[in-house]
Chain A
């Protein structure tokens, strides 16, 4: 098992971010979420031990078979791979 870290903010649904702590696109994605004031959960996959890491990777691969990071999953319905600023804004802004 692994635990997601929670960042409080406006409720725009279940926003999950799979990220790598040293990856700058991942950091930009986190920062964008924080600038948007959206509440979300995240995990730094590179900081996990092997077993929980495999677990996360299996989960990510369901959405993004290349298993690249950042991968964002919204409400278990929509997946955004990479730092796609416009797409993320559009997905998480009301009336957008």
Chain B
């Protein structure tokens, strides 16, 4: 049981401000219901203490970064959920309509596949990368890396340390081509 983790309100305020600034700079919005949003930010800080990273406050983390990487905030599902429902699963990030008060954030369906599907997909990905190229198939001059958070593509030897679009870290890039 890890029930006794507390974070100070100064910490919450600090991270709230930082996330708000980063979101604005990258064209995203935090939920304008600031009490709701601060509760989620507190959840991120609690999870940072528990697991060492910002596991999604509304999902169950395994505590193993290899298994949780897709749900480190901002998760891989944020952008598709913003496009389809106008908010991420937790409703930390919202679209302009919700931000401007024209629509209310609501609880949306879970997009993250179940565990079995996730494990299967990660194996398939590995195999696809290591499989020898078929004759005549397109081979780029440089590897192409894809940011799993926002879809940004970069053709270079190594992925960037930080995604220039959404600021996700290097470990969120996957080999795309």
Q: Which of A's residues lie within 8 Å of B, judged by CB?
A: 20-27, 44-49, 53, 57, 61, 65-69, 81-84
Closest 8 CB pairs of A and B: A22-B43, A68-B110, A82-B107, A23-B58, A22-B57, A83-B107, A66-B110, A25-B107
| CB interface residues, B 96-125, toward A, < 8 Å | 106-110, 112-115
Closest to B1 in A: A47
Q: A24-B36, A25-B107, A67-B114 are in contact. List 19 more A-B contacts (CB 8 A).
A: A20-B57, A20-B58, A22-B40, A23-B43, A23-B59, A24-B90, A24-B91, A25-B91, A26-B58, A46-B61, A47-B3, A48-B1, A57-B60, A66-B109, A66-B110, A68-B59, A68-B109, A69-B60, A82-B108
Is A24's CB under 8 angstroms from B110's CB?
A: no
Find A65's partner among B60, B61, B114 (CB 8 Å cutoff): B114
Instruction: Flag whether B29 is at the interface (Cβ < 8 A).
Output: no
Rounded to whole Å, the gap between the CB of B94 and the closest CB of chain A is 13
| B interface residue count range (under 10 / 10 to 19 / 20 to 34 / 35 or more) | 20 to 34
Residues of B within 8 A of A25 (CB): 58, 90-91, 107
Closest to B38 in A: A24
Is B2's CB under 8 angstroms from A47's CB?
A: yes
Per the bound structure, the CA–CA distance linking A46 and B91 in Å amounts to 19
Is B58's CB under 8 angstroms from A22's CB?
A: yes
